[in-house]
Structures are given as structure tokens and as C-alpha cells.
Structure 1
Amino acid sequence: MNRNEKTVDVLQELNQFVNDRIEGYKHAAKVTKDPAHQSYYKDLINQSTKFSSEINSTISSFGGDPETSTTAKGKIFRGWMDVKSSITGSDEEAVIKSNLRGEEWAQKAYNDALDHRGELPQNVVQMVEKQKQASLATCERLRQMEKSAD
């Protein structure tokens, strides 16, 4: 596998998690009853959509096909959240906790991509690191929201 193929491979996998993030926040925005939270989740959908576009345009620049699907694990997780929210009536804390779990998965996906740092072009590493930092900030904000939801 050459460097371009490796870059495409790493970014396609990462983008499945970013697409999961979009779907997860769409779900959260739909089920939350808190207008401030809904607004924040919509901001995160927009942020994630930008991240996905950035990744896909980078994939294309390396000769790969854009990644539009989500992970199998993400689909299962959202299905479970649908069932759970219908049972618990989507309490705010449960929504926040599931978002936090999803964001922690995103962190793992960014770290997995950065494990290939040596094989990736510097501009790709910088893009991934920038997105990882934004995800980390989201984790912090969600933890604050969780504390105030108690």
C-alpha cells in the first residue's frame, strides 16, 4: 500500500466515525427537550458536516472515493439509543451521556488515525489534530452539561 492509499484508507475509516457523530447529534437534537442543548447539538452537526467535507475533499485529493457511510457499530448504537429513549422518555442526562460516549469513540477514532502519523502527509496530520481538539472541547462541554443535568 503506497502513502496515498494509506492516507485514503485512514481517512475513510475516520470519516465513518465523523458521519456517526453527525447522525448521533441529529438524533440528540431531535430528542432533547432543552432548547439550549438543541441549539448546541445543531452547532455540532454543522461542525461535523464541515469536518466530513474536509476529510472527503482530502480523500479525493489523494485519489480516493469520498466516505459517506457510518460505522456498523454506530448504527447499532443509535438503534439502541432509539429503544432506550422510547423507554426512558429521553431524559436529558441520558441524551448527554450517550453524546459523551459517542464523542469518546470519536476521540479513539482520531487517535487511531494519528497512530499512522508517520505514514501521513503533514497537512493531513494537522487536519486530524485540529478536528481531534474540537472533539476534545466537545467532551469537556458535555461533561459540564452532564454535571448541571444531575
Structure 2
Amino acid sequence: MEYSVEMSNKLNELLTRTYDAEKGFKEAAEHVDNPIFEEFFMTRAKQRYEFGHELKSEIKTFGQDPDKGGSAMGTLHRNWMNLKSYFNSNNDEAMLSEVERGEKEAVNTYDDILNDKDFVLPPSTESILMRQRNAIKKTLDTAKIYERAVS
């Protein structure tokens, strides 16, 4: 039972970050001028929505309840994005920069869970987390390329 709770806590941490990222990508899409970036952000928001459903299902397999909302830190980050876009003449670059920062944090969170030597992940959970982490890493790499293009 303790293992299930601990596993669910780790997955709920990722789920909360996923909720935050989904909202953040939607927010970023509203503040960019370039339609390519808008589509990039909306596609990533949809991806995070799907990640959330995967994580919820995995949490339920451990007999636990998934969290239902984002974090205060995520709200703060989105408010920072709004403020930054208000004062920044290049909203595209500002939004890409914030996405890059958020994606780095997400990759680190996934890495911490995947590399935790004191906790053995079930193969199904590890597979989901690796796939999601790699997709986030790809998003990070793309955001860096886009950011260099607009700076």
C-alpha cells in the first residue's frame, strides 16, 4: 500500500506540472504574433492534455486518486508570462523563452523520478514517463531553435 501511495504522489507531481504546462502553452499561444508559434503552442497544449490523461490512468492503476488542478507556482509562471508579454516588444521571443524555461524544469522533474535509485518504477510507468520526457525534450529543442530564429 505504501508503494502505491508513494508512486501516486510522484505521478501526481507530474500531473500537476502537466496541468500547468497545458495552461501555459494555451496562454503562450494567445500572446504570440507568429501563426507558426501559435500552432506550436496549441499543439503542445493538446499534447499535455493527453499526457494528463495517461498519468491519471496510471495513478488509478495504483488505486489512488489523481490531482484535479494545477499549482500555485504554475499560476505564478503564467502571470509572469502575461506581464512579460505586456512589457516586451517581441512577444514571440518572450513566450519562447518562458516555454524553454518551463520545459527545462519539466525534463528535470521527469529525470529525477526516472533516475531515483531508491524507487523502482513498474515497466509500464517507466515507459510512459520516458516517452513523455522525450517528447518534452523535443519540445524544448524546438523552442530553442525558434527562439534563436526570432532573436
Q: TM-score, with normalisation over the residues of structure 2?
A: 0.92
Q: Is 1:35 matched up with 2:35? A: yes
Q: Which one-letter code corresponds to 1:113 in the other structure? A: I
Q: Point out the more displaced range, 10-19 or 74-83.
A: 74-83
Query: Where in structure 2 are the equivalents of 1:1-150 lying within 5 Å?
Result: 2-89=2-89, 91-116=91-116, 118-150=119-151
**Superposed structure 1 runs of 4+ greater than 2 Å apart:** 115-120
Tell me, which stretches of 5 or more residues in structure 2 are unaligned? none
Q: Could you tell me whether the CA contact under 8 Å between 1:3 and 1:120 is conserved in 2? A: no
Distance 1:133 1:70 in 2: 22
Please state how far the C-alpha of 1:103 moved relative to its aligned partner: 0.6
Please state how far the C-alpha of 1:71 moved relative to its aligned partner: 2.2
Q: Could you tell me whether the CA contact under 8 Å between 1:21 and 1:48 is conserved in 2? A: yes
% identical aligned pairs: 27
Please state how far the C-alpha of 1:89 moved relative to its aligned partner: 4.8
Q: Which one-letter code corresponds to 2:137 in the other structure? A: L
Q: Could you tell me whether the CA contact under 8 Å between 2:28 and 2:81 is conserved in 1? A: no
SS at match of 1:3: helix
Distance 2:116 2:51 in 1: 19
Q: 1:60 to 1:90 in 2, by over 3 A?
A: farther
Q: Deviations over 1:51-81 (max 9, x none)?
A: 0000001111211112222122211111122
Q: Could you tell me whether the CA contact under 8 Å between 1:32 and 1:38 is conserved in 2? A: yes
Q: Could you tell me whether the CA contact under 8 Å between 1:103 and 1:139 is conserved in 2? A: yes
Q: Could you tell me whether the CA contact under 8 Å between 1:60 and 1:66 is conserved in 2? A: yes
Q: Could you tell me whether the CA contact under 8 Å between 1:6 and 1:119 is conserved in 2? A: no
Aligned residues between the structures? 150
Please state how far the C-alpha of 1:90 moved relative to its aligned partner: 5.5
SS at match of 1:29: helix
Tell me, which stretches of 5 or more residues in structure 1 are unaligned? none
Q: Which one-letter code corresponds to 1:105 in the other structure? A: E
Please state how far the C-alpha of 1:130 moved relative to its aligned partner: 0.7
CA RMSD across the alignment: 1.5
